[in-house]
Structures are given as structure tokens and as C-alpha cells.
């Protein structure tokens, strides 16, 4: 039996961020990954670091802290991060009401959001389609990384660190107290972090159920390079995105937008589509996505879904080259209240997961808070938050 100090199971962005936080604190880490590197959601996403989508309060704080740590990680591990901000394009009065409500609430932030006129939005981003555009919400603190590049560079940085041992192609078959069993070896660890992504469902089925977690499948695509160094500027999205992020959920007009969207965008609403547009340092544009909640994820991607994503993309933007290089699907686990789960399983093991659609945004900050035991008291991320309240005496 091999004795190790701290085991991290799962080499997606959550496991990588935990490993970074642990070595910064002086811990020795053994990272176990079933594949030859991050392979699941962490390399299949847009790479958007998107604090604008998090509710003001501890989750926004976590996302902004995460953004700072992403910048630090980019410096240490030599990958690029684009602090390009985001534009939410509003084409209807309801969408305008919601972004104006957002800006009013955002004023206490250090670098608050602001409303732009159509011409200001177009000056910032040539891809903004002027037709129907009424206003835009500009959030300056969103950012973007190329997810494959970022993961590979962090893996490289960690593999060269003398406090880290990475075991690739090593699936952990079982954790029993402080014993960790792989097909090759049995390890004894002082502390264990499980960051198993959507395999959460297999690892802790009971917690998956009580937390009302679900598995979501998303359709994604990437264009070939844009011509003549054409640059997108800020990340772009449209009004449908307002229906998807917690930061807009309490806007008084959100139900009206829901009704409006069902009427105007039935195919997009049927497939849970909202369009995000991100460009990476290689000039290619990543487009998506859809949301299908499935207990058994279908291996088949639907052409109708890609078409509906493309239709909305062309409605809000004018990108010179929409020739596709690739399409793929990604999967994540999301809890019933959409917040991550940090669950102390026993004296040795902590589960960190259910990062949903905000794992890139939150991972670095969440991992730092977990390792330094500094999750704000006002934020309950434990699985027990889903327990039914005790029955009161009659």
C-alpha cells in the first residue's frame, strides 16, 4: 500500500484548481485522472469566465475571486486569458427592462455593468447585428480562455511541480475511508478530494438524488479561423441568455421574457438554447448551446438543435465566417438549486462538484475557498442544505 498525502480524484478543471490551491498551500498532491488529461466538460466548454451570470453576494464574490486566480494561473502556467468583457444584446423592450434592472443592482461592484446604445455596442464589437438592437448590457469583468489550451497548460505546470504526482489513465475504483483503490495499486491518503464531474451520479447516488441533481447534455460547435485577423471583441450573447443565469432570475420582467421567448423562439426554447459567442486566441469562434436534461445521455446529436443555435446566432450577430470546423456534445451535473456542492463525506474525503454551467467561472475561487476553509458563512454549499426541514411540533 502506497502512502500519499493529498489525493485529488478527477483531472477536470475542479480537480486541477484544487491541485493548484493545494500546492500553493504547501501540500503534496497525487492527482488521479481516468483519461490522459481533462477530457469531459472542462475541455468541451466556451472557456468563458462569466461572473456577470452569478447573483450579487457570495457567488459573485466567488466568481470574481476565481477570475483573479485564473489570471494568476494563466501567468504561472503560460496560457492566455482575454479580459474582454461581455455584451448582452437586447432587442425587445422586455429585454431592455431586464438589463436596466441589472445595471441598477450592479452599481456597488468595483467595475460595474453599464448600458450601451446600439452604436456604442457596435463600436465595441463589429459582430453586433444592428437590426432590432435596442440596447446592450456591457459587463467589463467577464473573460475568456481557450479551455483545451488552459487545461493542458495547467496539467503541464502541475506535472513539472515537485509537489505533484499525476497518475493519468488511472481510474479510481473505490474510496474506502482513507484507502483509495485503483486497478494497479492501493493507496493510503491523509486527505482525499473527489472532483469527478458528472460521474457524481455514480460516485454518490444518494447525494445526487437528495440534491435533486440532474445531468445536462449540451450541443456545441466551433468555426474555422476568421478572415484577416477579424476580432470579436467582447463575448456576445442575446436576450435568451437572460433566462439562463441566476443574476437575472429575480428581475421583475423575467416571466414576461419567458412568455415572449416561447412565442418568438419556440424551437430554441424547446431545446433550452441560448447563444453564447466566444473567440479564442486561434481566431476560431465557439458557438452554443442547448440544454437537454437526460437521465441517460443520448450519444446522438440532433441536426435540428445545431440549426436552431445557428438561427439565433445569425439573428443577433454578423460573424464573417460561420463555416464549421467541429461539433460536439458536453455533459455536466447540476444541483437542484444550481449551486455547487461541497460535501464532507467522512473524516478523510470531501466531494466538490455539481458545478453546472459555471464550472470554468467558479472552479478556481471555489477550490481556493475549499482548501483554505474560507467559504463565507452565509453560503451553505453542503449537501445537507437539501434536507427537508425538521417537522415542527403540532
CB of 348 within 8 A of CB of 14?
no
Q: Which of these, 339, 7, 356, 348, lies nearest to 197 by C-alpha position?
A: 356
Point out which residues pair with 61 in neighbouring strands: none
The alpha carbon dihedral of 336, 46, 249, 59 has a sign of positive
Task: Summarize as ranges the residues that interact with ligand FAD (CB under 6 A).
Answer: 9-15, 32-35, 38-42, 44-48, 50, 171-172, 195-199, 218, 220, 288-289, 330-332, 353, 355-361
CB of 352 to ligand FAD, least distance (A): 7
CB of 117 to ligand FAD, least distance (A): 27
**Counting beta carbons within 10 angstroms of the beta carbon of residue 105, is it exposed (0 to 12), middle (13 to 18) or buried (19 or more)?**
middle
Instruction: Considering the complex, state which of residue 44 and residue 292 has its C-beta at the smaller distance from ligand FAD.
Output: 44
CB of 25 to ligand FAD, least distance (A): 19
Instruction: Considering the complex, state which of residue 36 and residue 266 has its C-beta at the smaller distance from ligand FAD.
Output: 36
Q: Which helix (H) or strand (E) holds 344?
A: strand 341-344
CB of 62 to ligand FAD, least distance (A): 12
Q: Which residues of 239-261 are buried (b: 16+ CB within 10 A; e: fewer)?
A: bbbbbbbbbbeebebbebbeebb
Name residue, grid cell 499525476.
Answer: 166
Instruction: Considering the complex, state which of residue 226 and residue 363 has its C-beta at the smaller distance from ligand FAD.
Output: 363
CB of 18 to ligand FAD, least distance (A): 9
**Residue 40 grid cell:** 469531459
CB of 285 to ligand FAD, least distance (A): 13
* Bond from prior residue into 289 cis (ω within 30 degrees of 0): yes
CB of 167 within 8 A of CB of 31?
yes
Q: Which of these, 230, 233, 223, lies nearest to 284 by C-alpha position?
A: 223
CB of 289 to ligand FAD, least distance (A): 5
Q: Which of these, 157, 201, 177, lies nearest to 29 by C-alpha position?
A: 157
Amino acid at each position: 500500500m502506497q502512502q500519499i498525502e493529498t489525493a485529488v480524484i478527477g483531472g477536470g478543471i475542479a480537480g486541477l484548481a484544487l491541485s493548484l490551491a493545494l500546492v500553493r498551500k504547501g501540500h503534496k498532491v497525487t492527482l488521479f485522472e481516468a483519461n490522459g488529461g481533462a477530457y469531459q466538460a472542462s475541455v468541451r466548454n466556451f472557456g468563458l469566465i462569466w461572473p456577470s451570470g452569478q447573483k450579487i453576494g457570495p457567488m459573485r464574490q466567488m466568481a470574481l475571486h476565481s477570475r483573479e486566480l485564473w489570471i494568476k494561473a494563466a501567468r504561472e502556467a503560460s496560457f492566455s486569458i482575454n479580459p474582454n468583457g461581455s455584451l448582452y444584446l437586447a432587442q425587445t423592450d422586455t429585454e431592455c427592462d431586464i438589463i436596466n434592472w441589472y445595471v441598477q443592482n450592479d452599481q456597488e461592484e468595483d467595475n460595474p455593468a453599464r448600458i450601451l446604445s446600439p452604436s456604442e455596442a457596435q463600436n465595441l464589437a463589429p459582430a453586433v447585428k444592428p437590426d432590432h438592437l435596442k440596447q446592450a448590457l456591457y459587463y467589463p469583468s467577464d473573460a475568456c480562455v481557450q479551455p483545451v489550451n488552459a487545461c493542458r497548460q495547467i496539467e503541464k505546470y502541475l506535472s513539472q511541480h515537485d509537489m505533484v504526482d499525476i497518475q493519468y489513465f488511472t481510474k479510481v475504483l473505490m474510496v474506502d475511508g482513507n484507502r483509495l483503490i485503483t486497478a494497479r495499486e492501493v493507496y493510503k491518503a491523509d486527505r482525499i478530494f473527489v472532483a469527478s464531474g458528472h460521474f457524481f451520479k455514480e460516485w454518490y447516488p444518494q447525494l445526487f438524488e437528495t440534491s435533486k441533481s440532474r445531468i445536462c447534455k449540451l450541443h456545441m460547435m466551433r468555426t474555422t479561423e476568421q478572415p484577416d485577423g477579424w476580432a470579436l471583441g467582447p463575448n456576445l450573447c442575446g436576450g435568451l441568455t437572460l433566462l439562463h443565469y441566476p443574476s437575472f432570475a429575480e428581475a421583475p420582467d423575467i416571466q414576461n421574457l419567458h412568455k415572449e421567448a416561447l412565442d418568438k423562439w419556440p424551437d430554441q426554447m424547446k431545446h433550452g438554447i441560448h447563444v453564447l459567442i466566444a473567440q479564442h486566441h486561434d481566431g476560431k469562434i465557439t458557438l452554443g448551446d442547448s440544454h437537454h436534461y437526460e437521465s441517460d445521455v443520448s450519444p446522438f446529436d440532433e441536426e435540428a438543435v445545431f440549426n436552431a443555435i445557428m438561427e439565433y446566432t445569425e439573428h443577433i450577430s454578423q460573424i464573417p465566417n460561420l463555416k464549421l470546423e467541429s461539433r460536439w456534445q458536453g455533459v455536466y451535473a447540476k444541483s437542484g438549486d444550481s449551486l455547487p456542492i461541497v460535501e464532507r463525506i467522512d473524516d478523510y474525503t470531501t466531494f466538490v462538484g455539481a458545478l453546472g454551467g459555471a464550472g470554468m467561472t467558479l472552479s478556481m475561487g471555489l477550490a481556493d475557498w475549499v482548501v483554505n476553509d474560507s467559504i463565507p458563512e452565509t453560503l451553505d454549499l453542503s449537501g445537507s442544505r437539501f434536507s427537508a426541514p425538521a417537522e415542527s411540533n403540532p
